């Protein structure tokens, strides 16, 4: 018996809940429901509470009507609202009807907010105190509230009779205050608050500026509506980073885990950008049409087309990635565009110099250079090197300025994805290449 | 007076601290120190505590020796350790010597950990209880500890005489427990813990799996070393997302805000990858050398080279971005490679079909098609369409499998950056194009 227990512990450092989740995730979707029903109730509850809303909805949709209620009532109002948002419309009304009246009112209020603003993130249950209570009364009152509220305790909020927020006090402060003092004399009044319509990205920035664990959400009249806690912000940060990364990679945001996205949805999310980029890239064929004569005269020029345009694309990807992320983190502002341009002009110049030199050396010292490039290999090498330099510099400028321009025009800067910048630079890169080559090789080869 | 106040509030919904920070960030670096010294002490302290370690180090480095101590002692041990890590070596020892003895011991212990493991994230100050205390005693004991510990209260940890972790109890549970009960009878023993050497990315995953606000860090012997709180995890999540995004864009992780990275550092971080990609892309020139004869015979083929290789690159960027992010979020595992491959085979096939069709139509219906492509425009169109289809499919396969292969070999999957995949697909895309074109145009044009 003893031995068996030890063995179990050694097998895995995962907690029992983690092991359950792990097994769940490896299970094919059509077997999950049977497995879920066979679990002991308390294990099933742990699992359910730790699910994402999408997984919760999968379970709820398959449960018999009579059992739905007890599962939905397990959820706190903000989690219930998240679940409602992913349920099919007809199920949503059924599910709302299963909540107790107070929770239904709270969930309905939460559903009125956009999903990605403070109101859509917040929890409408928090600890309330009256300003005229004594510290001792407040502690006793909170003890009573703690029995019925499932939220972890950080702060209690002091409200007047019109629900306006007067101040806040942390449990630590309440603990160390003298019991006979009055709440309004010990509370903090210099509060950081969040307007209910604030965008979630801005909310997450406010959290990282202040090292607080919860912030109160208030409406225009100063009435308190709920609290956003730092653990909600972790999800926001991940979600926003995922969205930005996907856009940066030239995909519309998936809004769901990779393996849970259906094939048609996956194709839809990818085909849009891919088609736009393809159509944009068609201009390279048009541009090259103009230079057909040059290519015919000096075929060696054609050999370096992929090298040159991709160098510009890579340099543009780097610059756009850096700037898009810096905008998202609030490290650079629009008004910094001048500093950024200067920075990219110098970075782009030196990077172009490095790559151009490598390109020149490659052509000059290539073993079969005479067969491939003829007697004017040095001129061809110079044309390629200058073009690489110019294209890399141009890529850095486009890649850094485009996100700023998009942001200025009110678009999401992350739409200036790496492939988008690369396409733009490809077309202009060809023009740069053939212009530079024409002027260097003029009279010799062209 | 009243009017002025109202005006001030309307001008900005930022808190005074936010306004101070805002002004600070807009200030040129060489004016900052003067401004800092002129601030009232309490404002300066607020500002200092909210700075990033890099900004704190900037201030500390410029302060006269006698003033350094009072600023450094403001910091909690984990923040002090973060500061030490960014200070120049000679300043670090000076700064360590300024701490009180207990804090110095704690900071030194924290500095022994890698920055990106649990031990480097944790706070070594937390609330401790003994198992045999009564609930009432525990509450009184915690009140006393609260007076000297600056951390927000969530949980108290129950340790035995060897500092081994026996259980934990939240303040909420302690609040609602009967005062005469014994701690070890009301504490939770089914704990989620974090080993001190766990990578910070894994730590953040563990936090998002369990909705807890703090997790205890233990060493191999089960001794408790500290706690990691959810607000530390927000920073980790941002940092890791930034790193991944920068790698994805083909830049080495900057490890500092864009505008605070010096020009030489910026060039160093970008030149490495850019050079590798450039050298890789040189194989396109080599590959094209092999097809020089075909290009000479059918110049129209050259016109579509940028279009075809960039389509493969874009499709590869999409696939690698999706998979890299899914790996980082723990949505897919290595063992899912087969499912991913199937998914990408079908997505890639349909995406290739869409783009190939657009390409064919573009060539067939182009106004000047006869002048550009000659009488065999339909065959050229077919060759281009089939190549686009093949290259897009190939891009999706490479882009999705490469991160998994890198991850299997123990490298960071994010190194399979979009530009890296694009370069790989460029070279192979040329081979696909000319092979397809040769077989379709064989005997007609080639």
Residues 372-411 (A) with a CB less than 8 A from some CB of B: 372, 388, 392
- Quick check: B122 pLDDT over 70? yes
- Write out the two tokens for A244: 């930005």
Q: Which of B192, B248, B354 sits opposite A271 (nearest CB)?
A: B354
What DSSP state is assigned to residue B168? E
In Å, how far is A98's CA from the nearest CA of chain B? Answer: 25
Q: Does B325 reach chain A within 8 Å, measured CB to CB?
A: yes
In Å, how far is A422's CA from the nearest CA of chain B? Answer: 9
- Nearest Cα neighbor of B182 from B229, B237, B138 is B138
- Quick check: B161 pLDDT over 60? yes
Query: A160 and A208: one domain?
Result: yes
Do B309 and A313 form a contact (C-beta atoms < 8 A)?
no
State the Cα–Cα distance between residues B93 and B65, nearest whole angstrom: 13
Query: B44 and B186: one domain?
Result: no
The domain that holds A374 is classified in CATH as 1.10.357.20
Query: B318 and B232: one domain?
Result: no
Q: Does B21 reach chain A within 8 Å, measured CB to CB?
A: yes
| Interval B174-183 mean pLDDT | 84
As a three-state string, the secondary structure of chain A is CHHHHHHHHHHCCCCHHHHHHHHHHHCCHHHHHHHHHHCCHHHHHHHHHHCCHHHHHHHHHHCCHHHHHHHHCCCCHHHHHHHHHHCCHHHHHHHHHCCCHHHHHHHHHHHCCCCCEHHHHCECCCEEECCCCEHHHHHHHHHHHHHHCCCCCCEEEEECCCCEEEEEEEHHHHHHCCCCCEHHHHCECCCCCEECCCEHHHHHHHHHHCCCCEEEEECCCCEEEEEEEHHHHHHHHHHHHHHHHHHHCCCCCCCCCHHHCCHHHHHHHHHHHHHHHHHHHHHHHHHHHHCHHHHHHCCHHHHCHHHHHHHHHHHHHHHHHHHHHHHHCCCCCHHHHHHHHHHHHHHHHHHHHHHHHHHHHHHHCCCCHHHHHCCCHHHHHHHHHHHHHHHHHHHHHHHHHHHHHHHHCCCCHHHCCHHHHHHHHHHHHHHHHHHHHHHHHCCCCC
Query: A34 and A166: one domain?
Result: no
Residue B347: the pLDDT is 92
Q: What is the pTM of this model?
A: 0.71
Q: Which of B121, B155, B189 is at the close of a domain?
A: B121
Inside any domain, residue A288: yes
Residue A5: the pLDDT is 35
Inside any domain, residue B71: yes
Q: Which of B121, B141, B172 is at the close of a domain?
A: B121
- Quick check: B78 pLDDT over 90? no
In Å, how far is B258's CA from the nearest CA of chain A? Answer: 6
Dump pLDDT digits (tens) for B327-343. Answer: 888 788 888 899 999 99
Reduced to 3 states, what is the DSSP secondary structure of residue B215?
Answer: strand
Inside any domain, residue A239: no
Query: A166 and A204: one domain?
Result: yes
Residues 271-300 (A) with a CB less than 8 A from some CB of B: 271, 273-275, 277-279, 281-282, 284-285, 288-289, 292, 295-296, 299
- Nearest Cα neighbor of A368 from A360, A377, A359 is A377
Strand partners of residue B134: B182
Query: B228 and B313: one domain?
Result: no
Residue B325: the pLDDT is 85
State the Cα–Cα distance between residues A348 and A345, nearest whole angstrom: 5
Taking the alpha carbons at both ends of chain B, their separation in whole angstroms is: 88
Residue A375: the pLDDT is 78
Which residues does chain A have with pLDDT short of 70? 1-16, 146-153, 211, 416, 444-446
Residue A4: the pLDDT is 36
Task: Give residue B93's domain range.
Answer: 14-121
Sort out which chain B residues have CB atoms less than 8 A from A419's CB and list them.
313-314, 317-318, 418
Query: A106 and A131: one domain?
Result: no
Query: B338 and B433: one domain?
Result: yes
Number of domains in chain B: 3
- Quick check: B445 pLDDT over 70? no
Q: Which of B121, B142, B171 is at the close of a domain?
A: B121
As a three-state string, the secondary structure of A281-329 is HHHHHHHHHHCHHHHHHCCHHHHCHHHHHHHHHHHHHHHHHHHHHHHHC
In Å, how far is B358's CA from the nearest CA of chain A? Answer: 8
Query: B333 and B418: one domain?
Result: yes
Query: B136 and B212: one domain?
Result: yes
What is the value of ipTM here, to two decimals?
0.70
- Write out the two tokens for A411: 């678009």
Inside any domain, residue A6: no
Q: Does B222 reach chain A within 8 Å, measured CB to CB?
A: no
How big is chain A, counted in residues? 446
Residue A148: the pLDDT is 62
Residue A150: the pLDDT is 54
Q: Which of A170, A299, A318 sits opposite B292 (nearest CB)?
A: A299
Dump pLDDT digits (tens) for A71-106. Answer: 888 888 888 888 888 888 788 888 888 888 888 888
Inside any domain, residue B44: yes
- What confidence category does residue B182 fall into, taking pLDDT thresholds of 50, 70 and 90? very high
The domain that holds A146 is classified in CATH as 3.10.580.10
Dump pLDDT digits (tens) for B369-399. Answer: 777 777 788 888 999 999 999 999 999 999 9
- Write out the two tokens for A180: 């006979």
State the Cα–Cα distance between residues B53 and B443, nearest whole angstrom: 69
Q: Which of A299, A306, A368 sits opposite B426 (nearest CB)?
A: A306
Inside any domain, residue A252: no
| Interval B221-244 mean pLDDT | 84
Inside any domain, residue B262: yes
Query: B223 and B368: one domain?
Result: no
Residue A349: the pLDDT is 95
Find which of A178, A274, A333, A373 to mutate to test the B interface (most B CBs within 10 Å of its CB).
A274
> Of all residues in chain B, what percent carry a pLDDT higher than 70?
93
Q: Find the range with the poorest average confidence among B245-254, B317-326, B402-411.
A: B245-254
Taking CB atoms and an 8 Å limit, are A418 and B249 in contact across chains? yes
The domain that holds B102 is classified in CATH as 1.25.60.10
Query: B22 and B159: one domain?
Result: no
Inside any domain, residue A289: yes
Residue A342: the pLDDT is 93
Vertex A405 angle, CA A400 and A409, to 5°? 155
Residue A2: the pLDDT is 37
Strand partners of residue A264: none
- Quick check: B159 pLDDT over 80? yes
Taking the alpha carbons at both ends of chain A, their separation in whole angstroms is: 88
């Amino acid at each position: 018996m003893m031995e068996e227990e030890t063995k179990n512990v050694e097998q895995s450092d995962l907690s029992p809940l983690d092991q359950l989740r792990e097994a769940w995730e490896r299970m094919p979707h059509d077997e999950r429901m049977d497995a879920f029903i066979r679990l002991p109730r308390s294990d099933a509850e742990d699992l359910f509470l730790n699910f994402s809303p999408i997984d919760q909805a999968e379970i709820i949709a398959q449960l018999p009507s009579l059992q739905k209620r007890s599962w939905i009532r397990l959820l706190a109002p903000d989690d219930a609202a998240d679940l409602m948002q992913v349920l099919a419309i007809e199920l949503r009304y059924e599910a709302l009807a299963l909540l107790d009246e107070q929770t239904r009112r709270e969930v309905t209020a939460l559903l009125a907010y956009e999903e990605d603003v403070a109101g859509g993130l917040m929890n409408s249950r928090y600890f309330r105190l009256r300003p005229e209570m004594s510290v001792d009364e407040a502690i006793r009152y909170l003890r009573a509230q703690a029995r019925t509220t499932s939220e972890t305790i950080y702060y209690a909020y002091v409200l007047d009779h019109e629900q306006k927020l007067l101040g806040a006090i942390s449990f630590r402060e309440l603990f160390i205050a003298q019991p006979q003092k009055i709440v309004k004399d010990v509370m903090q009044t210099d509060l950081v608050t969040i307007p209910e319509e604030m965008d979630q990205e801005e909310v997450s920035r406010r959290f990282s500026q202040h090292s607080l664990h919860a912030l109160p959400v208030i409406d225009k009249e100063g009435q308190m509506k709920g609290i956003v806690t730092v653990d909600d912000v972790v999800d926001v940060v991940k979600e926003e980073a995922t969205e930005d990364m996907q856009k940066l990679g030239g995909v519309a945001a998936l809004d769901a885990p990779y393996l849970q996205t259906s094939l048609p949805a996956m194709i839809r999310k990818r085909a849009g950008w891919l088609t736009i980029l393809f159509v944009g890239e068609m201009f390279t064929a048009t541009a090259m049409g103009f230079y057909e004569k040059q290519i015919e005269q000096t075929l060696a020029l054609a050999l370096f087309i992929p090298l040159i345009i991709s160098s510009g694309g890579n340099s543009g990807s780097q610059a756009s990635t850096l700037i898009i992320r810096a905008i998202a983190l609030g490290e650079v502002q629009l008004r910094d565009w001048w500093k950024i341009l200067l920075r990219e002009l110098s970075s782009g110049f030196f990077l172009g110099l490095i790559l151009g030199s490598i390109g020149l050396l490659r052509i000059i010292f290539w073993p079969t250079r005479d067969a491939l490039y003829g007697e004017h290999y040095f001129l061809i090498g110079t044309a390629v090197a200058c073009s690489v330099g110019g294209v890399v510099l141009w890529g850095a400028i486009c890649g850094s300025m485009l996100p700023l321009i998009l942001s200025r025009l009110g678009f999401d800067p992350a739409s200036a994805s790496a492939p988008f910048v690369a396409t733009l630079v490809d077309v202009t890169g060809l023009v740069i290449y053939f212009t530079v080559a024409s002027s260097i090789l003029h009279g010799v080869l062209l």
